[in-house]
């Protein structure tokens, strides 16, 4: 779901932070639950959250979760990434890396519910097994 800068509220920031924390906790649970199963198949299973930037309402901020599976030689076999929030500057509808006069700031928040994301992650892991 896209948010314009005028829609950036403390409630939205709290929702972003809460979602990131909930997903981080769930990923830790998934790693502890499935790590031994993947180890028995000689595969490396890792999951984590990546956050770039410090303020969700500043361009360049990006948060996502990823699950990666590698073989015993550490060659990546598959990766699944879900973006949580991304804030960028736009000029004439195109993302830009610098803030120039006339540009707008907007953010993109994931459209799925927390439960849908959990289901998607579990389905992905089961597919890989």
Model-level pTM? 0.85
Does the structure show a pLDDT above 80 at 99? no
What does R_g of the chain's alpha carbons equal in angstroms? 17
Higher pLDDT, 122 or 13: 13
Predicted pLDDT of residue 128: 83
The answer for 39, left when phi > 0, alpha when psi is -120 to 50, beta otherwise, is: alpha
Percent share of the chain, pLDDT over 70: 100
Predicted pLDDT of residue 106: 94
Question: For 8-34, what is the mean pLDDT?
Answer: 94
Predicted pLDDT of residue 9: 96
Domain limits for position 42: 2-128
Q: What b/e string do you get for 92-112 counting C-beta neighbours within 10 Å, with b at 16 or more? A: eeeeeeeeeeebebbbebbee
């Amino acid at each position: 779901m896209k948010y314009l800068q005028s829609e950036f509220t403390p409630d939205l920031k709290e929702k972003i932070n809460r979602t990131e924390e909930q997903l981080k906790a769930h990923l830790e649970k998934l790693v502890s639950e499935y790590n031994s199963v993947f180890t028995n198949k000689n595969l490396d299973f890792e999951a984590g959250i990546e956050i770039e930037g410090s303020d969700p309402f500043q361009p360049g901020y990006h948060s996502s979760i990823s699950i990666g599976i590698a073989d015993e030689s550490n060659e990546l076999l598959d990766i699944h990434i879900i973006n949580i929030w991304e804030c960028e500057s736009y000029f004439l509808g195109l993302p830009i890396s610098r803030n120039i006069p006339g540009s707008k700031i907007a953010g993109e928040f994931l459209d799925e519910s927390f439960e849908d994301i959990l289901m998607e992650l579990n389905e992905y892991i089961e597919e890989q097994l």
